[in-house]
Structure 1
Amino acid sequence: MEFTIKILGRGLLIFILALTTGNLLGQTSGKLIYRQSDFNNKIDSLRSASRNLVLPAGDQLEMATYLAVSHYPELAGHKIKIKYKRNVQYPITASWSFWNIFKFRKHHTYVLLLSQDAFVKRLNLNGKIGVIGHEMAHFAYYRKRSSLGMGWWGIKYSISKKFRFQFEKDADRATIDHGLGWQLLDISFYMNKAEVKAYMEQRGYLESVSDR
């Protein structure tokens, strides 16, 4: 019964996205652009349909987070918390909770840690999804690693600029692979726009993105 409810919920989410964007969930070809006007008054439907729980409800990044994580079926069932702090190193970080050490991997909670004045809050919906989609790529990476593996990753990320830069570029590629290439063209991270376009064409997601 629970499995049937989950399938129906995911089907409802796909239906919502198809109606509002003209595209199917996770689509990697075609020009997928998210517009706020398409999702006005639809947050309750997104909450009901999603297999994720985004907290706190009502946060201005809640909708973008639900839409971004919908492109990552491997993260289904995980709780995602949005937290703000005054003194953080980066405007937005995909944080791995220490308490996950004591949980089975399928029960891990992931945290989007943001500065109080994080630039992402000022972006349009499409840009917000691009930023958060990049962070979801990190969560998808974390999900595959053991606690010990995450500890080793943390050491390498902290001490090696080369490793950190490559890791972040790989996250951009993973974001594109999950159908959010157009979003990265709005707000590119470690890959510049030319690299994003080239990668999209190389992977066959679009025949050409020269119109962008």
Structure 2
Amino acid sequence: MEPLLLNTFGWKKKIPEEIRIPTLIALSHYPELKGVKIEFRFAEKKSKSVMSARPSFRSVFGVLADRTYVIYVRRRFVIEGKLLRIEELPQNILVGWIGHELGHIMDYKDRSVLSLLGFGLGYLILGKYVRAAERRADEFAVRHGLRSEILETKNFILNNTHLPERYKNKIKRLYLSPEEIMEIVNTDEEEITKKLASV
């Protein structure tokens, strides 16, 4: 199974061995990203986020088709008083987390240089802009078939008593709630039903 996933969805991707399988599973939900250059890197410095996605700064000013994106992954963190490595998380939760970051890349991939620079500036200084961007990434993931993984990831974060309250509050404030995720799913299902009925 893994060689098939790697050959199909691992093209132009650099993925650390420790997170290879959940990353390939998440990528399999995004056929639009097959030819897009994406590097998954363990963050060198201690990061507030478990994962973050951004375009490689050098590639922003080049040809759109050659643009590279980097997803930084925090290598270790503490849960329930234990130091855990990222690969020790349940696979579905990792797939959901990575799927959300790939949603950001979907948001970036067709933007012009000016649009990306404006996006970056807005993300740095405007709270409303951050919230809109995070919710769009969630929506991309849900619409690409990762509803259960995104819900599982959110439940893991919000119901884990040993994750910092500040981090939980950030998730509640910026990201789609489980109810909003279900609303998207139900709306999409209604649209599909209407289209099928009109054929």
Q: TM-score range by the shorter chain?
A: 0.7 to 0.9
Equivalent position to 2:97, from 123, 131, 138: 131
Distance 1:169 1:101, change over 3 A: closer
For residues 161 and 77 of structure 1, what CA distance do their matches in structure 2 show? 32
Q: String of CA shifts for 1:21-59, please: whole Å, max 9, x gaps.
A: xxxxxxxxxxxxxxxxxxxxx32222122363332452x
Q: Name the SS for the 1:202 alignment partner.
A: helix
Tell me the CA shift for residue 146 of structure 1.
1.2
Correspondence 1:98 to 2:64? no
For residues 105 and 49 of structure 1, what CA distance do their matches in structure 2 show? 22
Gaps of 5+ in 2: 78-83, 155-170, 194-199
Correspondence 1:46 to 2:12? no
Correspondence 1:76 to 2:34? yes
* Bigger mean CA offset, 177-186 vs 64-73: 64-73
Look up the equivalent residue of 2:58 and give its one-letter code: W
Look up the equivalent residue of 1:79 and give its one-letter code: K
- Contact (CA 8 Å) 2:147, 2:181: kept in 1 or not? yes
Instruction: Indicate the residue corresponding to 1:62 in structure 2.
Output: 20
Gaps of 5+ in 1: 1-41, 208-212
- Contact (CA 8 Å) 1:54, 1:62: kept in 2 or not? no
Distance 1:51 1:77, change over 3 A: farther
Q: How high is the TM-score relative to the length of structure 1?
A: 0.70
For residues 38 and 28 of structure 2, what CA distance do their matches in structure 1 show? 12
| CA RMSD between the two structures | 2.3
Q: Name the SS for the 1:203 alignment partner.
A: helix
Equivalent position to 1:195, from 149, 174, 180: 180
Instruction: Indicate the residue corresponding to 1:112 in structure 2.
Output: 71
For residues 57 and 169 of structure 1, what CA distance do their matches in structure 2 show? 27
For residues 113 and 177 of structure 1, what CA distance do their matches in structure 2 show? 23
For residues 129 and 108 of structure 1, what CA distance do their matches in structure 2 show? 24
Aligned residues: 165
Structure number having the greater helix percentage: 2
Q: String of CA shifts for 1:153-208, please: whole Å, max 9, x gaps.
A: 0111111111101211121111111111111121125112222222211221799x
- Contact (CA 8 Å) 2:9, 2:27: kept in 1 or not? no
* Bigger mean CA offset, 73-82 vs 125-134: 73-82
Equivalent position to 2:149, from 156, 160, 183: 183
- Contact (CA 8 Å) 1:51, 1:77: kept in 2 or not? no
Distance 1:165 1:65, change over 3 A: same
- Contact (CA 8 Å) 2:10, 2:24: kept in 1 or not? no
The runs of at least 4 aligned residues of structure 1 exceeding 4 Å deviation read none
Q: String of CA shifts for 1:49-94, please: whole Å, max 9, x gaps.
A: 2363332452x21221122122222212122211122232422101
Tell me the CA shift for residue 97 of structure 1.
0.4
- Contact (CA 8 Å) 1:94, 1:113: kept in 2 or not? yes
Look up the equivalent residue of 1:181 and give its one-letter code: R
